[in-house]
Homo-oligomer: A and B are copies of this chain.
């Protein structure tokens, strides 16, 4: 049975805290795509299709033709940043897209000027912010963000909004008492509790306004009971965290393959070199710790060493990120995987991924904006576990293990769309040809 989903009428405002390389690459791309200058490669919503019925039905519509998503023409963009550069200037600075392409969309990008950011240098020591809000307490900052959101909606005539965090990685810290309930959190805002990170202010503001919030960084942000509570209270979807790109993307592709074949792993060493602002922030050990925790988590869930002790019980997993200016946004990863097969014989896999950080992340921002808006219109509140596909550290309900296997994540995402549209779920079976057997079912 098809679920009831409100139609995507009117304009959808996409609010982005952090108008750096990722966000500007996404915005410039959407403008270029709307002008027919380029293609939304890497975006599942725009380029992907999903199969309905049996293989022999040959029915695989594009996702954007199957579920009622907002149209690219209805998107309007806004955001906050600690630098005051408009999106054209920031995109030039980021050196991700070539100047020729940026020139072709310059007029549209120059109109998008960042609102002043809620910033706290303790959470990102390597950043120097100038375009920042002044306020006495976190409560005032949160109120200022709420004002920004409402004003943006009114000014741009939006019927709906979503917010996708595209800002920096904050320093590592763990959940504490102030995060435990909405009450304690709001008290903390008023007390200006330093344990409330800037990113939490954005999430709080969004959820208060009923605006879906997705978290593209490994920060704690909405991974706290206080904001879960708020999300359910305001019937708002949340999702996170940490866009799955580059090395971790490859890891959640390759690891399921090794596991499928019951090949053992003794070690997995992953290193990265990158030279963009993200790399600069992560050059600080406190910020790297946050990212490291996120990146390290993916293998355990896939290999389940507690169940497969003989194969994965002694695996040594190490992740490193190195700031290396010569590469700019062209992040490069190198992995060495020590595996063993039949009778314990050792083998090695080396993967060298010459990727582009923002090129991989940008379409995820677009997809999340469109899917979070869909979720809101389908009245799916709280944690959107079916969007795990997009994240290094998928949010789950308390006590549940996250799914990291990208193929299982994709199946879940697709089946969720089929379910919403009242289509049969796909259950592959290799017995199509055994007619006698089938009759006995």
Known: A41-B311, A254-B257, A260-B410. 18 other contacts (CB 8 A): A33-B343, A38-B343, A41-B264, A42-B263, A44-B261, A47-B310, A249-B261, A260-B406, A271-B320, A318-B324, A320-B322, A326-B338, A341-B359, A349-B351, A379-B436, A380-B431, A412-B430, A419-B431
Those of A229-287 within 8 Å (CB) of chain B: 249-250, 252-254, 256-257, 260-264, 266-267, 269, 271, 273
Closest Cβ of chain B: how far from A221's Cβ, in Å?
19
Query: Is A101 in the interface zone, CB < 8 Å from B?
Result: yes
* Bound form: Cα–Cα A271–B272 in Å: 10
Q: Is A336 within 8 A of B332, CB to CB?
A: yes
Closest B residue to A255 using CB positions:
B253
Q: Which residues on B sit within 8 Å (CB–CB) of A32?
A: 343
Q: Is A262 within 8 A of B41, CB to CB?
A: yes
> Which of A106-114, A125-133, A171-179, A421-429 is near enough to bind chain B?
A421-429
Query: Is A40 in the interface zone, CB < 8 Å from B?
Result: yes
27 contacts between A and B (CB under 8 A): A1-B440, A25-B342, A32-B343, A39-B344, A40-B342, A41-B262, A41-B341, A42-B263, A47-B262, A253-B253, A253-B260, A260-B407, A334-B334, A347-B356, A349-B352, A349-B354, A350-B350, A352-B352, A380-B434, A382-B433, A385-B431, A409-B430, A411-B428, A412-B430, A413-B430, A419-B437, A425-B429
Q: Is A415 within 8 A of B397, CB to CB?
A: no
Known: A42-B263, A325-B316, A419-B429. A360 touches B342 (CB 8 A): yes
Chain A contributes a number of interface residues (CB within 8 A of B) equal to 115
Q: Is B261 within 8 A of A343, CB to CB?
A: no
Closest B residue to A437 using CB positions:
B3
Query: Is A146 in the interface zone, CB < 8 Å from B?
Result: no
Closest B residue to A99 using CB positions:
B100
* Bound form: Cα–Cα A41–B344 in Å: 7
Q: Is A42 within 8 A of B97, CB to CB?
A: no
Closest Cβ of chain B: how far from A306's Cβ, in Å?
11
Q: Is A345 within 8 A of B359, CB to CB?
A: yes
Closest B residue to A25 using CB positions:
B342
Q: Is A338 within 8 A of B347, CB to CB?
A: no
Those of A374-396 within 8 Å (CB) of chain B: 378-380, 382-389
Q: Which residues on B sit within 8 Å (CB–CB) of A362?
A: 342
Closest Cβ of chain B: how far from A296's Cβ, in Å?
14
* Bound form: Cα–Cα A354–B356 in Å: 17
Q: Which residues on B sit within 8 Å (CB–CB) of A429?
A: 386, 412, 415-416, 419, 425
Q: Is A415 within 8 A of B428, CB to CB?
A: yes
Q: Which residues on B sit within 8 Å (CB–CB) of A44?
A: 261-262
Closest B residue to A354 using CB positions:
B348
Q: Is B41 within 8 A of A342, CB to CB?
A: yes
Q: Which residues on B sit within 8 Å (CB–CB) of A432?
A: 385, 400
Among B25, B257, B354, the residue within 8 A (CB) of A253 is: B257
Among B325, B347, B437, the residue within 8 A (CB) of A354 is: B347
Query: Is A307 in the interface zone, CB < 8 Å from B?
Result: yes
Query: Is A327 in the interface zone, CB < 8 Å from B?
Result: yes
Residues 84-107 of chain A, each 1 if its beta carbon lies under 8 Å from chain B, else 0: 000000000000010001000000
Closest B residue to A314 using CB positions:
B326
Q: Which residues on B sit within 8 Å (CB–CB) of A29?
A: 342-343
Query: Is A154 in the interface zone, CB < 8 Å from B?
Result: no
Query: Is A55 in the interface zone, CB < 8 Å from B?
Result: yes
Q: Is A351 within 8 A of B354, CB to CB?
A: no
Q: Is A347 within 8 A of B322, CB to CB?
A: no
Q: Is A427 within 8 A of B426, CB to CB?
A: yes
* Bound form: Cα–Cα A378–B42 in Å: 44
Q: Is B39 within 8 A of A310, CB to CB?
A: yes
Query: Is A139 in the interface zone, CB < 8 Å from B?
Result: no
Q: Is A342 within 8 A of B354, CB to CB?
A: no
Q: Is B269 within 8 A of A324, CB to CB?
A: yes
Known: A359-B342, A427-B427. A262 touches B336 (CB 8 A): no
